[in-house]
Chain A
Amino acid sequence: MDLFDILVSILGSTIRLSVPLVFTALAGLFSERAGVFDIGLEGKMLAAAFAAACAAYVTGSPWLGLLAGIGVSVAFSILHGFASITNRGNQIVSGVAINFFVAGLTIVLGQAWFGQGGRTPQLPPDGRFSPIILPGADALRGVPVVGPLYANVISGNNILTYMAFLAVPISWWILYRTRFGLRLRAVGENPGAVDTAGISVTWLRYRAVICAGILCGFSGTYLAVAQSAAFIKDMSAGKGYIALAALIFAKWKPVPVMFACLLFGFLDAFANFMQGKAIPGIGEVPVQIFQALPYVLTCVLLAGFIGVARPPKAGGVPYTKER
Chain B
Amino acid sequence: MSQAPANERAAIELVGIDKKFGAVHANKNINLSVAKGSIHGIIGENGAGKSTLMSILYGFYHADSGEIRIDGKPVAIRDSQAAIAAGIGMVHQHFMLVENFTVLENLMLGAEGGMLLKGGVTRARGELKRLASDYGLEVDPDAVVEELAVGLQQRVEILKAMYRGAEILILDEPTGVLTPAEADHLFRILKVLRDQGKTVILITHKLREIMAITDTVSVMRRGEMVATRKTSETTVEELAELMVGRRVLLRVEKGAANPGAVVLSVKNLTVKDGRGVTMVDNVSFDVRAGEIVGIAGVAGNGQSELLEAISGIRPPTSGEILIDGIPIGRADPARLRDLGLAHIPEDRHHMGLVLRFEEYENAILGYHRDPKYGGMFLDLDAIRKDAVDKIEKYDIRPPNPRLKTANFSGGNQQKIVVAREIERDPKLLLIGQPTRGVDIGAIEFIHRRIIDMRDAGKAQLLVSVELDEIRALSDRILVMFAGQIVGEKTADAGEQTLGLMMAGIAA
Which A residues are closer than 8 A to B by beta carbons?
176-183, 185-186, 189-190, 192-199, 310, 313, 321-323
Contacts and interface: CB of A to CB of B under 8 A. Distances in A.
Interface string B23-66: 00000000000000000000000000000000000101000000
11 contacts: A176-B117, A177-B118, A179-B117, A183-B109, A189-B100, A190-B99, A192-B94, A192-B96, A194-B110, A197-B110, A198-B84
B287 interface: no
A196 B96 contact: yes
Contact of B90 (A178, A194, A196, A321): A196
A185 B98 contact: yes
Contacts of A186: 98, 101, 105, 109
B97 A197 contact: no
Contact of A323 (B21, B117, B120): B21
Given A177-B118, A196-B92, A182 B80 contact: no
A182 B99 contact: no
Contacts of A310: 100
Contact of A198 (B94, B98, B110, B114): B110
Nearest to B118: A177
A190 B94 CA distance: 11
Nearest to A312: B100
Contact of A197 (B21, B60, B109, B118): B109
A164 B109 CA distance: 30
Given A197-B110, A322-B60, 19 more contacts: A177-B117, A177-B118, A179-B114, A179-B115, A182-B105, A182-B108, A189-B99, A190-B96, A190-B98, A193-B98, A194-B110, A195-B80, A196-B96, A197-B80, A197-B109, A197-B111, A198-B79, A198-B110, A199-B109
Given A186-B98, A321-B60, A193 B117 contact: no
Contacts of B96: 190, 192-193, 195-197
A176 B80 CA distance: 25
A193 B81 contact: no
Interface of B: 21, 58, 60, 79-84, 90, 92, 94, 96-101, 105-106, 108-112, 114-118, 120, 160
Contacts of A192: 92, 94, 96
Of all A-B residue pairs in the complex, the 8 with the closest CB atoms, nearest first, are A197-B110, A198-B81, A179-B112, A198-B80, A193-B96, A196-B96, A189-B98, A186-B98
Contacts of A178: 115-117
The A contact surface, by secondary structure, is helix
Nearest to A186: B98
A195 B80 CA distance: 7
A197 to B, nearest CB: 3
Contact of B116 (A179, A183, A189, A195): A179
A182 B84 contact: no
A241 B79 CA distance: 39
A193 B103 CA distance: 13
A192 B80 CA distance: 11
Contacts of B98: 185-186, 189-190, 193
Nearest to A190: B98
Nearest to B82: A198
Contacts of A177: 116-118
Contacts of B115: 178-180
Contacts of B117: 176-179, 181-182
A185 to B, nearest CB: 7
Contacts of A189: 98-101
A38 B471 CA distance: 54
A183 B100 CA distance: 13
A186 B96 CA distance: 10
Contacts of A197: 80, 84, 96, 109-111, 160
A193 B109 contact: yes
User: Which of A178, A180, A197 has the most chain B CB within a 10 Å cutoff?
Assistant: A197
A182 B109 contact: yes
Nearest to A310: B100
B21 A196 contact: no
Nearest to B52: A323
Nearest to B161: A196
Nearest to A187: B98
Given A185-B98, A189-B99, A323-B21, A194 B109 contact: yes
Contacts of B21: 323
Contacts of A180: 115
Contacts of A182: 105, 108-109, 112, 117
A301 B205 CA distance: 50
A195 to B, nearest CB: 7
A12 B380 CA distance: 68
A176 B83 CA distance: 28
A183 B108 CA distance: 10
Contacts of A199: 81, 109-110
B151 to A, nearest CB: 19
Contacts of B110: 183, 194, 197-199
